[in-house]
Amino acid sequence: MEKERGITILAKNTAIKWNDYRINIVDTPGHADFGGEVERVMSMVDSVLLVVDAFDGPMPQTRFVTKKAFAHGLKPIVVINKVDRPGAR
């Protein structure tokens, strides 16, 4: 279903090694309908990268994730995506 719709529905994780560190990366849904997945994962992470589409700008889920991150004592790092797309702001 995720591939059909082109969106993340359930959180997925992967890990990379950098020097002597293991960095776990967790991809969570960006769609508002799956906010429960975001809330579930928020207590398991040390940091948050919040990806915002430069064309569409912040969406309702952007505010939701930001509030949840702050509530867990996390300071989101905002990443602007698709800046090369025509019409990006």
Kindly state whether residue 11 falls inside one of the protein's structural domains: yes
Mean local confidence (pLDDT), 58-80: 92
User: Residue 82 corresponds to which tokens in the numbers above?
Assistant: 């698709």
Confidence of residue 86 (pLDDT cuts 50, 70, 90): confident
| Number of domains comprising the chain | 1
From 77, 63, 16, 69, select the one nearest 41 (Cα to Cα): 69
Structure confidence at residue 39 (pLDDT): 84
Helix axes 35-42, 60-71, angle to 10 degrees: 20
CATH of the domain at 14: 3.40.50.300
Residue pLDDT, tens place only, 3-62: 555 666 788 889 999 999 999 998 887 666 777 878 888 888 999 999 999 988 898 889
Domain boundaries, position 66: 2-81
DSSP assignment of 51-88 equals EEETTT---HHHHHHHHHHHHTT--PEEEEE-TTSTT-
Contact 64, 31 (CB under 8 A): no
pLDDT above 60 for 2: no
Structure confidence at residue 37 (pLDDT): 79
pLDDT above 90 for 76: yes
